[in-house]
Amino acid sequence: MRPDLNIDLLRSFNAVAETRHFTRAAEQLNCAQSAVSMQVKRLEAIIGVRLFERSKRIVKLTEEGEIFRRYANRMLCLNDLTLAAFGRNALQGRVRFSATDTSMCFLPAILSRFAQSCPLVELEIRCERSWEALDSLQAGETDLALVTQPCGRKGGQLVKREALVWAMAQGASVEELDPLPLAIFGPGCIYRKAALAALDDCGRRWRHAYNSESRDGLNVAVAAGLAVTVVPVSALTPNLRVLGPDEGFPPLPEIEILLFEASSDAALPVATFARTIEETLAKDKGTV
């Protein structure tokens, strides 16, 4: 029925909009000026809107042209992204990645970013405790590990500091809970020690009500309002309520998210994934 857009035409349109000259745009595009004129004309015919004001000598975007420019840009970006993701020198391969339960909450942002620009790279994700993740890394079973404890290993890179807070279900009340029922990870977690010590220090009685090796396990008890837990602020969900000094909860230490790589000269997909993690977490740094 009606013709589709054409990326080449958008490219030309964009060049004219940038340079504000048909001649310069032609140079930039390596073609004759008349070609650019005709391309813009063709594009205008397709979308049925006049894009440039040519009454005077100067080339100026019309109001609609200005609006259309945003659409054209999105289209060109998507085009470039797609070509970069697939083209001949697109990344391909596999990345075996270990995350801890705690670092898991950052994965959605990281993954959507990475999957977008490197769709051909196969991702293998495991969830382990920090020390297990580092063992896997050393054993060559994984390429990267995003952990919360260095476990004595050297070479980890600090990619983010994250506040840890006490939290419980929105509706639940903490008043009548004494001793305080806790849903936290089992022994081995250094933050667990710090949290319990802090509670003891301020004289709050507690009991270890629920235990699990995974956050999902704990969440069941927390969501039911049966226990209080400790989470990084990034893992807070709408149904969780932060418990502060007002309610008698001591401040918690910050956790450090560390990135370990199997080798410094890792395969390109691995290195790219590592850089994506750094960038994504660094971006969040300011907002939290």
Partner DNA sequence: TTACATCATCATTTTTTCTGATTAATATTT
Partner DNA sequence: AAATATTAATCAGAAAAAATGATGATGTAA
Q: How far apart are CA 147 and CA 133, in angstroms?
A: 7
According to CB under 7 A, which one of 15, 17, 43, 59 is a site residue for DNA? Answer: 59
Q: Which does 5 bind (CB under 5 to 8 A by kind): DNA, a copy of itself, none?
A: a copy of itself
> Is residue 85 within the footprint of a copy of itself (CB under 8 A)?
yes
SS3 101: coil
> Is residue 13 within the footprint of DNA (CB under 7 A)?
no
Q: At what angle do helices 22-29 and 33-47 cross, to 10 degrees?
A: 100
Instruction: Check: CB of residue 30 under 8 Å from CB of residue 15.
Output: no
Q: Which does 212 bind (CB under 5 to 8 A by kind): DNA, a copy of itself, none?
A: none
Cα separations (Å) of 257 from 83, 143, 154, 243? 33, 17, 14, 23
Question: What is the total count of residues that contact a copy of itself (CB under 8 A)?
Answer: 35
Determine the interface stretch with DNA among 25-33, 110-118, 166-174, 211-219 (rule: CB under 7 A).
25-33
Q: How far apart are CA 248 and CA 69, in angstroms?
A: 55
Cα separations (Å) of 178 from 67, 164, 209, 228? 61, 22, 12, 11
Instruction: Check: CB of residue 164 under 8 Å from CB of residue 252.
Output: yes
Residue 211 Cβ vs a copy of itself, minimum distance, rounded to whole Å: 27
Instruction: Check: CB of residue 234 under 8 Å from CB of residue 284.
Output: yes
Determine the interface stretch with DNA among 56-64, 81-89, 128-136, 146-154 (rule: CB under 7 A).
56-64
Site string (21-60) toward a copy of itself, x via CB under 8 A? -------------------------xxxx-----------
According to CB under 8 A, which one of 20, 41, 60, 71 is a site residue for a copy of itself? Answer: 71
Residues in touch with a copy of itself (CB under 8 A): 2, 4-8, 11, 46-49, 64, 67-68, 70-71, 74-75, 78-79, 81-83, 85-88, 90, 119-120, 170, 173, 175, 242, 246
